């Protein structure tokens, strides 16, 4: 992670906030999954977030009797706490840590499609991509098309793939993909060729630290530049 992100920049954001004077409060929910110890090590020990802002970090075999799915149905504890207006950034990770949900202040919900597009639109602010360049962007077929527009603006390779992370892996193996995501809350890059929830949260914090913009402002900027894109899941 040290070779991918500027930890000192994120640490400074958390300590001094967007205005350089007040703390930027983050709230991370590990949902009693496997990421708990890593959340505490990275966000507390390395980045200085208070331990009380890292919730449900003790892994449990039954996930505390809840469903460890980071979405608006099952991550209600995080959503309700974010709505209190104390924290500026929230993230939840699923049981094995490969999926993530991102929230802004007052519970501002970021769709997985918009999350992918915001990161893509600001990739050049992340040290890893400054070194490797942008080989391409991709999304799964059900995912809304915001990232398509970003790829067109950046003039980089773009691909729409069938549902299934293995299709992203094929593109990475071919050297044609740097960042990808799916509407089921999975986001990842070619740093490990897999979905990575903690990586996604750190990517967001990196962008916030460099732009000095809130989660809501970054998403609204995306909408203004590329329009709003939607997906709908039927059950």
Domain span at 41: 7-110
Would you say residue 39 lies in a domain? yes
Structure tokens at 36: 């708990």
Q: Is residue 37 part of a domain?
A: yes
98 in a structural domain: yes
Within-domain flag for 42: yes
* Token duo for residue 86: 């104390």
Q: Does the CA dihedral 163-166-168-170 come out positive or negative?
A: negative
Looking at the structure of the chain, the number of domains it has is: 1
Helix (H) or strand (E) holding 140: strand 137-140
CATH code: domain of residue 73: 3.40.120.10
Please tell me the pTM assigned to this model: 0.97
Residue 155: the pLDDT is 97
The string of pLDDT tens digits covering residues 118-171 is: 999 999 999 999 999 999 999 999 999 999 999 999 999 999 999 999 999 999
- Assigned domain for 187 exists: no
Digit-coded pLDDT (tens) for 168-179: 999 999 999 999
Residue 234 within any structural domain of the chain: no
Q: At residue 197, what are phi and psi to the nearest 5 degrees?
A: -65, -45
Which residue numbers in the chain have pLDDT < 50?
Answer: none
Mean of pLDDT over the chain:
96
With contact defined as beta carbons under 8 Å apart, do 140 and 162 qualify?
Answer: yes
Distance between CA 212 and CA 152 in Å, rounded?
Answer: 25
The reply to whether 36 falls in a domain is yes
Q: Which residues of 149-178 are buried (b: 16+ CB within 10 A; e: fewer)?
A: bbbeebebbbbebeeebebbbebbeeebbb
- Domain for residue 207, yes or no? no
């Amino acid at each position: 992670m040290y070779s991918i992100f500027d930890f000192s920049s994120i640490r400074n954001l958390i300590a001094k906030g967007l205005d350089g004077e007040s703390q930027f409060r983050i709230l991370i929910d590990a949902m009693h999954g496997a990421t708990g110890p890593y959340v505490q090590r990275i966000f507390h020990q390395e980045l200085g977030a208070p331990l009380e802002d890292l919730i449900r970090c003790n892994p449990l075999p039954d996930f505390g009797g809840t469903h460890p799915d980071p979405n608006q149905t099952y991550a209600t504890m995080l959503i309700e706490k974010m709505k209190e207006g104390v924290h500026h950034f929230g993230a939840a990770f699923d049981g094995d840590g490969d999926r993530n949900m991102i929230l802004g202040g007052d519970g501002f919900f970021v769709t997985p499609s918009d999350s992918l597009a915001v990161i893509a639109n600001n990739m050049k602010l992340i040290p890893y991509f400054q070194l490797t360049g942008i080989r391409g962007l991709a999304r799964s077929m059900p995912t809304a098309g915001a990232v398509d527009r970003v790829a067109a603006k950046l003039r980089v390779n773009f691909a729409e793939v069938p549902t299934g992370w293995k299709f992203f892996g094929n593109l990475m193996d071919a050297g044609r993909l740097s960042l990808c995501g799916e509407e089921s809350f999975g986001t990842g890059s070619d740093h490990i060729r897999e979905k990575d929830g903690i990586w996604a949260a750190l990517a967001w914090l990196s962008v916030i630290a460099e732009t000095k913009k809130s989660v809501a402002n970054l998403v609204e900027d995306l909408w203004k530049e590329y329009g709003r894109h939607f997906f709908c899941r039927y059950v």
